[in-house]
Chains A and B, each alone.
Chain A
């Protein structure tokens, strides 16, 4: 990999002229400026890495490029000509292809049908020309050095191979620019080299590649240049050959985080939760940690590191294959979420709309959903008690609604999240687990939720916060547990840890981490 990287550097020196230029792109969403005057360019035959924290605007920028979003300001210049795309199809026809994390294939059709979906070769009178379809597909597949056949069902392929089909689909349009958005997120270590080979061969054919990833090792192995975004703003472009991981990490996060360490809880008492050598098949291995009364523990790691799954295991949604969970010093088997609630565990799940709320019910009904026993007598609901509880938490959490009868589906993300949190506070849990508590929430509500989490801990709750956002983890928690590939790689004091140390621990650069990740790959 390294030798080919030097090769490529020479090549990129010879073709300095960019195929694609994004100039001064600004994109606003209600309440947020997602991108502020961002410029970016890609040369033919280079891999240009795009880096930034979650929410820095990488995906938004690429969606503006591929016609999924329309930028309010700025222009896209493709081969010297100003273009604008009203939808993804238009971008595709100009040779700009976006390959997502979530694949968009029809699993009941064959590889060939998927690749040419929407542009199947026809012969008179309007019949599919299967022969041509197969031979065209075979040509593309051999170019990608794929091992599967054009007649294989896509549903039978592994995720890595499906990704190849997606790439093959892009080749039908003779692409000029291919954008990979975290392509390795769902690949195993054995599958990655195949993808990297394809990317290199695309590049050798003169295609410009934009590569979005969190993983430093991949970026340094593949890319020629690196552009960093931070909080929706352009933060510099550097040649990969002339930099190192430390410098890039600093560019990514090097702001003074406005952290309010002083308001954090300080008094911890006995263990509420203790996890000992917990393993869950295919998810995590030998995980041990504890959370005490009045303490906030942050769990930090990349998507897919197994954090949510550990929370689900504690909440009774998954079965551990080994290890034990202790609640207040007592070893317990949590059989179901119902059991977990009865034992005083609360989980604010990762996905608000799918797991947290019943969108068809109103605000009051959602808040009382986990504590129906306490607002009813002999099974008959007491509207008065229900309204009391609703009003109490509506006031305490500052939930903005036109009234209790409002359907939660009509509320903003921040208020919806407060309702989910409120729902759990009604049960007076001992342990509160929050999985990505501020994902997709505006800045104001985010600060409110952070303050709320600290207040809850001070009033005696044991709190476990799972997050992919570093400022959140550092600003809220007392201790940080770093996870990588289903294992805990390090544990830090949140007030003293440096950001570099954290990034290293969750990307597997940590000495111990790289060893354990190898073991994890053999799982």
Chain B
């Protein structure tokens, strides 16, 4: 190597080191905040760190978590999915209502088919018609709310024989001492993590989110890939509806309202950038758990339910700020 090349490569290595150190500070910053919160909660409430409480938190967080895993794939691909909340309402209402009418197996099949159909509509409009994902899924959010209300005629639905149906397994069952929702959350997280990290499909999604033009120029079929991310997101909503429907055994028309924001909050907290092309399922799992533990801690400390929204807001702002700081490699902008 010539001297110039040498200094060049040394400079590059130095730059790498510095970047990864700052990376650690900024991306792990949210974990540090989380640890401080955990410490605070456990000092003021002895129940907080009990095994029972921890399992309860994870179980409660698993519905948001399952959906967030699917939406993470959409976001890594450079799009958004805001329709998951009302899709959850629709799917839950559907599976609960059909349970008594056509039996649990058929109800589950129909519910998944309908949910995937909605995902396909989203995917078609965004992937093939190239419409803006924010607008399409926002419109879908209100459209499905309407469809749900038309379907139920405004009535709540429930399952008559709540104690004798095997459908209870998904929300109330245990396997090897671990609650089924937690298991579903874990299995889905592992599967999707594997797909995103170790398969050519995952690589394509990252490439599309990172630079859609370059991905197309590399021969990647972008429309098809974007379409598939919405199918994954819809599938995860179906799984979440199984858990939710089985746990409450009855459903209001708006049971999923606000879930899209919880899901986004979890993803952002985990550190997956809304710009696309970066992030991971693992980060999302952490983000969703942070959200769950903070909400639980506030409840245990005796704060009213709605305080958690304010705290969540503060945490999201901090997370987004750290994300930006990470991108521009400093915490504050220098001017204007």
On whether the beta carbons of A376 and B207 are closer than 8 Å, the reply is no
Asked whether A400 and B8 contact (CB < 8 A) given A359-B211, A379-B201, A381-B203, the answer is yes
Q: Are A358 and B210 in contact (CB under 8 A)?
A: yes
A361 pairs with B210, CB closer than 8 A: yes
* B277 located at the interface, meaning its Cβ lies under 8 Å from any Cβ of chain A in the complex: yes
B8: A residues at CB distance < 8 A: 400, 412
Q: Does B16 contact A (CB under 8 A)?
A: yes
Query: B204 contacts A372, CB within 8 Å?
Result: yes
Instruction: Give residues 337-372 of A contacting B (CB, 8 Å).
Output: 337-338, 340-342, 347, 349, 354-361, 365, 368-370, 372
B12, B198, B199, B213: the one contacting A355 at CB < 8 Å is: B213
Min CB–CB distance A75 → chain B (angstroms): 29
B330 at the interface (CB under 8 A from A): no
- What residues of A have a CB within 8 angstroms of the CB of B130 in the complex? none
B216 within 8 A of A: yes
The dominant DSSP class at the A interface is: mixed
B4 vs chain A, min Cβ distance (A): 8
The answer, yes or no, to whether B9 is at the interface (CB within 8 Å) is: yes
Q: Is there contact, CB below 8 Å, between A380 and B198?
A: yes
A220 to B261, CA, bound (A): 64
* Complex CA distance for A379 and B196, rounded to whole angstroms: 11
- B277 with A360: CB separation less than 8 A: yes
A342 CB contacts on chain B under 8 angstroms: 219
Instruction: Find B214's partner among A341, A357, A376 (CB 8 Å cutoff).
Output: A357
Cα A355 to Cα B207 in complex, Å, equals 12
Once bound together, how far apart are the Cα atoms of A342 and B207, in whole Å? Answer: 19
A336 interface residue per 8 A CB criterion: yes
Answer yes or no: B206 CB below 8 A from chain A CBs: yes
B305 proximal to A (CB < 8 A): no
Q: Would A369 and B221 count as touching, CB distance under 8 A?
A: no
Distance in angstroms from A76 CB to nearest chain B CB is 26
Which of B12, B216, B217, B219 touches A402 (beta carbons < 8 Å)? B12
| In the bound complex, CA of A423 to CA of B217 (Å) | 11
Instruction: List chain B residues, Cβ under 8 A from A400.
Output: 5, 8-9
Inside 8 A of A315's CB, which chain B residues have their CB? Answer: 217
B172 at the binding interface (Cβ < 8 Å): no
Q: How far is the CB of A387 from chain B (nearest CB, A)?
A: 14
When chains A and B are docked, how far (Å) is the Cα of A340 from the Cα of B278? 28
Asked if B203 and A354 sit within 8 Å, CB to CB, the answer is: no
**Are B217's CB and A365's CB within 8 A?**
no
B13 at the interface (CB under 8 A from A): yes
Tell me if B49 is interfacial: C-beta within 8 Å of chain A: no
Most buried by A among B15, B16, B215, B218: B218
Residues of A in contact, count (CB < 8 Å): 37
A406 contacts B by Cβ under 8 Å: yes
Residue of A nearest to B276 (CB): A360
With A336-B221, A370-B218, A373-B200 already in contact, the answer to whether A359 and B12 are too (CB < 8 A) is no
Q: Are A369 and B12 in contact (CB under 8 A)?
A: no
Q: For residue A376, which residues in chain B have a CB less than 8 angstroms away from its CB? A: 199-200
* Residues B219 and A341 in contact, CB atoms below 8 Å apart: yes
Are A347 and B217 in contact, CB atoms less than 8 angstroms apart? yes
Closest partner residue, chain B, to A341 (CB atom): B219
| Nearest Cβ on chain A to B207's Cβ, whole angstroms | 5
Q: Do A402 and B214 contact each other (CB < 8 Å), given the known contacts A365-B203, A369-B207, A381-B203?
A: no
Which one of A337, A381, A401 lies within 8 Å of B219 (CB-CB)?
Answer: A337
Does A379 lie within 8 Å of B199, measured CB to CB?
A: yes
Q: Are A338 and B221 in contact (CB under 8 A)?
A: yes
Residues 399-422 of chain A, each 1 if its beta carbon lies under 8 Å from chain B, else 0: 011100010001010000000000
B217–A355 touching, CB < 8 Å? yes
Q: How many inter-chain residue pairs (CB < 8 Å) link A and B?
A: 88
Residues of B within 8 A of A381 (CB): 198-200, 203
A372 and B206 alpha carbons, distance in the complex (Å)? 13
Q: A372-B203, A402-B9 known; A360 and B219 CB under 8 Å?
A: no
B37 within 8 A of A: no
Interchain nearest-CB distance for A342 vs B (Å): 8
Q: Kindly state the separation between the CA atoms of A354 and B210 in the bound complex, as whole angstroms.
A: 11
Taking a contact as CB atoms under 8 Å apart, the answer to whether A337 and B216 are in contact is yes
Smallest CB–CB gap between B321 and chain A, Å?
20
Q: How far is the CB of B22 from chain A (nearest CB, A)?
A: 14
Q: Which residues of A contact B204 (CB under 8 A)?
A: 372
Shortest Cβ gap from A375 to chain B (Å): 8
With A361-B206, A406-B16, A410-B15 given, is the CB distance from A356 to B217 under 8 Å? Answer: yes
Q: Which chain A residues lie closer than 8 Å to B211 at the CB level? A: 354, 357-360
Distance to closest chain A CB from B13 (angstroms)? 5
A341 to B220, CA, bound (A): 9
Chain B contacts for A340, CB-based, 8 A:
219
In the complex, what residues of B have CB within 8 A of residue A412's CB? 8
Q: What's the least CB distance linking A406 to chain B, in Å?
A: 7
- How many whole Å from B82's CB to the nearest CB in chain A? 24
Residues of chain A contacted by B218 (CB below 8 angstroms): 337, 341, 369-370, 423
Cα distance A336–B224 in the bound complex, in angstroms = 13
Cβ contacts under 8 Å, B278 to chain A: 360
Q: Which of B5, B9, B217 meets A337, CB within 8 Å?
A: B217
Shortest C-beta distance, A503 to chain B (Å), equals 31
Cα distance A315–B213 in the bound complex, in angstroms? 14
In angstroms, Cα B218 to Cα A255, docked, is 39
Tell me which residues across on chain B come within 8 A of A379, comparing CB atoms: 199-201
Contacts known (A336-B221, A373-B200, A376-B199); A361 close to B12, Cβ less than 8 A: no
Is A369 within 8 A of B220, CB to CB?
Answer: yes
CB distance from B190 to the nearest CB of A (A): 14
**Chain A residue nearest to B12 in the complex (CB):** A402
Decide if A361 touches B217 in the complex (CB within 8 Å): no
Complex: A245 Cα to B99 Cα, angstroms = 86
Query: Whole-angstrom distance from the CB of A383 to the nearest CB of chain B?
Result: 8
Which chain A residues border B206 with CB–CB below 8 Å? Answer: 358, 360-361, 365
Contact yes or no, B199 A359, CB < 8 A: no
Separation of A410 and B192 alpha carbons in the complex (Å): 30
Given contacts A357-B211, A360-B277, contact A380 B199 (CB under 8 A): yes
B15 partner residues in chain A, CB cutoff 8 A: 410
A341 to B16, CA, bound (A): 34
CA distance A264 to B110 in the complex (A): 66
Partner pick for B16 among A347, A357, A402, CB 8 A cutoff: A402
Determine whether the beta carbon of B12 is less than 8 Å from that of A354: no
CB-contacts of A3-23 with B (<8 A): none
Tell me, rounded to whole Å, the shortest Cβ–Cβ distance linking A281 to chain B: 20
- Taken residue by residue from 3 to 35, chain B's Cβ proximity to chain A (1 for < 8 Å, 0 otherwise) reads as 001001100110110000000000000000000
* Contact of A358 with B214 in the complex, beta carbons under 8 Å: yes
Instruction: List 24 contacting pairs A-B, 8 Å CB cutoff, sorted by A.
Output: A338-B220, A340-B219, A341-B218, A342-B219, A347-B217, A349-B217, A360-B206, A360-B277, A361-B206, A361-B207, A361-B210, A365-B206, A365-B207, A370-B218, A370-B219, A372-B203, A379-B199, A379-B200, A381-B200, A400-B8, A402-B9, A402-B12, A423-B218, A427-B219
Identify 18 new A-B residue pairs, CB closer than 8 A, beyond the known A337-B216, A372-B203: A336-B221, A337-B218, A342-B219, A349-B217, A354-B211, A354-B213, A358-B210, A359-B211, A361-B207, A369-B215, A373-B200, A381-B200, A400-B5, A400-B9, A402-B12, A406-B12, A406-B16, A410-B12
Closest 3 CB pairs of A and B: A341-B219, A372-B200, A358-B210
